[in-house]
Amino acid sequence: MATTVKDVKKAAEALETNKDLTTPAVKPVTLPRDNPVVYPLTLPESEARLRTPAVGQRASRPDGRLHGLGQTKYIDDLTFPHMIHAKILRSEHAHARIISIDTSEAEAMPGVLATLTGREIPVNSFGPTLQDQPVLAAEVVRHRGDGVAAVAAVTEQIAADALEKIKVVYEPLPAVFDPMEALKDEIKVHPPASNIYASKVIKKGDVEKALAQSDHVFHRVFRTQMVEHVPLEPHSSIALWDGNGRVTIYSSLGRITLGREDLSRTLKLPQSKVRLVGTIVGGNFGGKNEITNEPILALLSKKTGRPVKCTFTRGDEFISSTIRHPFIMDYKTGVNKEGKILARKIHLVLDGGAYCSWTGTTIGKGSILAPGPYEIDNLHVEAYAVYTNKTTTGAMRGFGAPQVCFAYESQMDDIATKLGIDPLEIRLRNAFSEGSASPTSQVLQSVAVKESLIQASERFGWEDRPR
């Protein structure tokens, strides 16, 4: 592709000859707006898909071919006649009282068909365990991702322009961002409730005694960060409210049964009046397990009598969808000379962001898994989740497990280093076996941690390096 003077001349000539193409004299006929994907009608059969027994086959996915052809339809690929587009205005403050919202100027714009504010939502709250999150904030905004108003317009650009015409008057409130600060309850995110909205305790044996009797006690604090799921497909949904008062919603949601429950609740409609359709989700990882803008679109569709679509921008995806809980993890572990863990005392603080979301499952799994896959007779795990005026943290691949694994496995190597024991060996000395008791005293079955350690070490060649 190296360009030379000759190439430039050639390019100029090509431009010349292409003149007809670039400035056609007659407007050519545009082909109908169909989807002209080219694909062969006779398709090769995949052998693994044809074999019995089916289990254990490396069968290819039926959607694999459609992915490759560009034929898979995600929500944003769907259009309906007369479909319009919605955009959501987000908060200007991390914490503020909403004094007033004036949408009149936006509504007067040509191309704008409707606006919506939180007060118009029949039941303006949702959440999988605590219903503490508004669909659109009506009284108080608790983080910058809170939506305060929505606009439906004939194009996305007009909807975006209209957002700038909405006048929201706020009374800023003091905000708290640091979870350790938030624990003090000096600034409350959901007053009068405490910022501590979830906690968990797991106790077994006598930790203090066992720590006192340990040959070595290891203590360290570990921290993890906020992480976004980054599905390549941003959240997208389309709502169609029909003449029978029934609403159909196409959504990139990963859990439609419970999504329908949430919609029925927020819209105050019987479940039979709500149909939720999911196509393939373009990446979920826990981030698409809650409704976001679906009730808003339903109500905008009701107001306008048109299908309404909203696809998140990448920015929306970051600030208004959920993200992974940061953990602050205080680990104290007592071991004997042989590296056997005698006691582990763990204190976890989860930065919950502005709303509860999937914190229940995260704090549950995080606490139970925190001691690691090890037989430990004396345990004390205490975990607290606190509200802060930041992005809501929710479900993300692992529900707290990647966080605590970072802590318990880092400390395992600290112990190994100090005692001069090989990292593989110290794990084998402590790991669960079939029938071991878990931190909650559950008798474990189908245990394979030692097997995985040995097999991985063999594959890696762990023993190849002299100690």
Residues 332-391 that bind another protein (CB under 8 A): 360-361, 364-365, 367-369, 372-373, 381, 389-391
Residue 67 binding another protein, by CB under 8 A: yes
Of the candidate residues 330, 401, 419, 425, the single one contacting another protein (CB under 8 A): 401
Torsion sign across C-alpha atoms 270, 274, 275, 281: negative
Is residue 350 within 8 Å of 381, Cβ to Cβ? no
Q: Which is nearer to another protein, 308 or 453 (CB)?
A: 453
Q: Minimum Å distance from CB 369 to another protein?
A: 6
Residue 296 binding another protein, by CB under 8 A: no
Residue 64 binding another protein, by CB under 8 A: yes
Of the candidate residues 229, 325, 344, 345, the single one contacting another protein (CB under 8 A): 229
Q: Which is nearer to another protein, 116 or 151 (CB)?
A: 151
Pairing of strands 341-353, 378-387: parallel
- Separation of first and last alpha carbons in the chain: 53
Phi/psi at 439 (5° precision):
-55, -25
Residue 81 binding another protein, by CB under 8 A: no
**Cα–Cα–Cα angle for 19, 22, 28, rounded to 5 degrees:** 115
> Which range in 104-112, 206-214, 299-307, 402-410 contacts another protein by CB under 8 A?
402-410
Q: Residue 218: what residue type?
A: F
Q: Which is nearer to another protein, 7 or 338 (CB)?
A: 7
Is residue 367 within 8 Å of 202, Cβ to Cβ? yes
Q: Which is nearer to another protein, 28 or 466 (CB)?
A: 28
Q: Under rule CB under 8 A, which residues in 167-206 are in contact with another protein?
A: 175, 177, 200-204
Of the candidate residues 120, 132, 146, 233, the single one contacting another protein (CB under 8 A): 233
Q: Under rule CB under 8 A, which residues in 422-451 are in contact with another protein?
A: 423-424, 427, 431-432, 438-442, 444-449, 451
DSSP string, 410-463: HHHHHHHHHHT--HHHHHHHHB--TTPBPTT-PBP-S--HHHHHHHHHHHHTGG
Residue 80 binding another protein, by CB under 8 A: no
Q: Under rule CB under 8 A, which residues in 108-147 are in contact with another protein?
A: 129, 143-144
Residue 50 binding another protein, by CB under 8 A: yes
Helices 294-304, 256-267: axis angle to 10 degrees equals 50
Residue 414 binding another protein, by CB under 8 A: yes
Round to whole Å and give the CA distance between 378 and 209. 9
Round to whole Å and give the CA distance between 464 and 134. 57
